Amino acid sequence: MLYLLDIFGTLIFAISGAFKASQKELDVLGALILAVATGVGGGIVRDVLLGATPPAAFQDELYFIVCLCGGTLVIFIAPYIARQWNMVMAADALGLGVFAAIGAAKASHFGLGPMGIIFMASMTAVGGGVIRDVLANDVPAIVHTDFYATAAIIGGSLFAILYVFNIPEPVLLLVTIVSTTGIRLVAMHWKLSLPRVRRLKK
């Protein structure tokens, strides 16, 4: 089940990476690079931090194939759904929830405690997006966008709390995906964000 979720999340994030390339009017190669970097970036960060090396993406070529397929799809359809950006952002929110759940689950498999579970959920969820934004020369969404990392932290926290009570893993995964995705969608709809740090006066 985790494997299928990982592949699904990889596809969703690869698509979001390719759409970012479309926004920036990058060429075909740039779109595919962003698709791959976004799709597998979070998982690679997760596996390296957990000591699960080589990372899953380097052991199973399906991860890269899925990224390339997602990127290629966007190259052809981007002009036709450019006005449906909300749909793309909703898919990105779902990918965020899926990766937060996978990161939390893998952390629990490695015997990490609550803080470790929350940290891995967050890093897995936002890692690919950070790489995507850096390559696209944008400020990473994690540090300024409406409840991006915050949603993953809350979802990971729910996983960690319920894990203590020996709740079955499928339930934990569902709760994490729904909560993370839901919080992100609500934040986008209502334009919610954390307070910004005030600029220092010289």
Residue 73 sits at the vertex; the CA angle it makes with 67 and 75, to the nearest 5 degrees, is: 105
Q: What separation in angstroms does the CA of 179 have from each of 78, 96, 157, 187? A: 29, 11, 10, 12
Tokens of 166: 């020996």
DSSP structure class, residue 54:
S
Q: Check residue 145 and give its pLDDT.
A: 63
Q: Check residue 139 and give its pLDDT.
A: 86
Rounded Cα gap, residues 49 and 57, in angstroms = 14
Q: Check residue 146 and give its pLDDT.
A: 66
Rounded Cα gap, residues 113 and 55, in angstroms = 22
Tell me the one-letter amino acid at 15.
I
Question: Where in the chain does DSSP place strands (E)?
Answer: none
Tens digit of pLDDT at every position of the chain (202 positions): 899 999 999 999 999 999 999 989 999 999 999 999 999 999 999 999 999 999 999 999 999 999 999 999 999 988 777 667 777 788 889 999 999 999 999 999 999 999 999 999 999 999 999 999 999 999 888 887 668 899 999 999 999 999 999 999 999 999 999 999 999 999 998 988 888 777 766 6
Helices and strands of the chain, counted as H and E runs? 8, 0
pTM of the model: 0.93
Tell me the one-letter amino acid at 159.
F
Rounded Cα gap, residues 139 and 155, in angstroms = 23
